[in-house]
Structure 1
Amino acid sequence: MSNTTPRVRELNLYRQYFDLVAAGTKTIEVRVKYPHLADLAAGDVIRFRIKGTDETCEVEVKRVTEYTDFEALLVGEGPANVNPTASRDEQLANIRAIYPPEKETLGALAIRIELIG
């Protein structure tokens, strides 16, 4: 008999991205491939929280795809799925403002998400 309870991860998210996830319009979450995310898999649940608040929303992970860098991720996933309100160049600049070059060298994860409820 297998365990049917999904693993729940809690991750912080900036307000602008949280609102897009909560509206269901952001379907790809971008993260650096940190060791604590290395085993993230389809079926897991992510509870996004706006840091310093009680505001949360939950999504189910549909797939996780690894890319060498953020540029390759945007090409592979399509910028509109990452942030439908910003151009590709704006997104690349925003992502790199969050994650400096030494973090990007760890690899980039595209996490396909679907809002729960």
Structure 2
Amino acid sequence: MTDATTHVRELNLYRQYFDLVTAGTKTIEVRVKYAHLADLLAGDTIRFRIKGTDETCEVKVVRVTEYADFEALLDGEGAGNVNPTATRDEQLANIRAIYPPEKEALGAFAIEIALP
């Protein structure tokens, strides 16, 4: 039975991050504060998909926290929770390679996730 107030979101994820999620070692997902994610709540489900494939992984949203930018997010959440295989500086560079400055200027969401 599914609660009518919970949502399932489908989001694309690069293979390297997908593998960390499925291993349970990536517990914080980083996203730009886009309007379509503004109503994401604890208890919702995210279905991560590797773009162009049928490979998916579902996680539960534990918490959503807003930050002004990616630096504040990494400092607030701990870089090891975002990507335990890269340093904070490597992660900041990787995130900024995905999201250009005009996207970062919108703000950032730290989405705490857990495997069901």
TM surpasses 0.5? yes
* Counterpart position of 1:4: 3
* Percent identity of equivalent pairs: 82
Q: Which amino acid aligns with 2:45?
A: V
* Counterpart position of 2:57: 57
Matched residues in 1 for 2:83 and 2:115: separation? 15
Report deviation, 1:100: 0.2
Deviations 1:8-37 (A, max 9, x none): 000000000000001100000000000100
Matched residues in 2 for 1:35 and 1:79: separation? 25
* Counterpart position of 1:108: 108
Report deviation, 1:4: 1.6
Report deviation, 1:84: 0.1
- Give runs of ≥4 in structure 1 deviating > 3 Å: none
Question: What's the TM-score, normalizing by structure 2?
Answer: 0.96
Q: 2:76 aligns to what SS in structure 1? A: helix
* Counterpart position of 2:77: 77
- Asked if 1:20 corresponds to 2:20, the answer is yes
Q: 1:53 aligns to what SS in structure 2? A: coil
Report deviation, 1:46: 0.1
Q: 2:17 aligns to what SS in structure 1? A: helix
Deviations 1:58-113 (A, max 9, x none): 00000000000000000000000000000000000000000000000100000000
Q: 1:21 aligns to what SS in structure 2? A: helix
Q: Which runs of 5+ in 1 are unaligned?
A: none
